[in-house]
Amino acid sequence: MAKKLKRFLLYGFVIMPEHVHLLIHPGEEYNISKVMQFIKRHFSRAMNYINGHKNRFPEGDIGQCRLRGGGDRFQKINGSLVQDLIRQFDEYVEKIKIKIQANNETFPFFRWQKSFHDHIIRHQHDFDHHLNYILINPVKHHVCEDWRDYPWSSWQAHADLIDR
């Protein structure tokens, strides 16, 4: 959703249990801060919604996808895009809920740290170095034995999201 709405290029990612690494190139309309703000806000809202924490949002915040409802600013982008994003979100939520219930899992309330660290890629070697760092991060943190087996990285998941 963030990639479609904030129009940035995504070259690599890994989602770890307590942090995430992204290799992105912001477009001209939104800078890195706006992209990260969008990703963090909507990911945490969606994650807590999926995990059943619907009543633990800050005052004035809602525990559902902000794309819903009339008058929402995202409706202005493209009605069919918005409907497609909502459908994809709903399908994803149902798959995750089934998996959580099947494994009898519970998850704590998700909250991002206050900031993020960015780095400007200077040349191809720098790009390759950071992409490799992202991909081997699960091994570095002892989450898996082989980075190619980790399901929450751009190596395994959602190849259609990656810009080549």
Tokens of 56: 């633990």
Determine the pLDDT at residue 125: 97
Mean pLDDT of 11-34: 89
Residue 116 confidence (pLDDT): 84
Rounded to whole angstroms, the Cα distance separating 127 from 11 reads 9
**Per the structure, how many domains does the chain have?**
1
For the domain that residue 9 is a member of, what is the CATH number? 3.30.70
For the full predicted model, state whether its pTM sits above 0.75: no
Q: Which two tokens stand for residue 142?
A: 């002892």
Q: Residue 107 belongs to what domain range?
A: 2-161
- pLDDT classification of 74: cutoffs 50, 70, 90: very low
Long-range contacts of range 156-162, CB-CB < 8 Å, 24 or more positions apart? Answer: 161/3, 161/10, 162/10, 162/11, 162/12
Rounded CA separation 63/56 (Å) = 8
Among 16-20, 22-26, 110-114, 150-154, the range with the most confident prediction by mean pLDDT is 22-26
Residue range 117-148, pLDDT digits in tens = 899 999 999 999 999 999 999 999 888 898 88
Residue-wise pLDDT for 28-57, tens only, equals 999 999 998 888 887 777 777 766 666 555
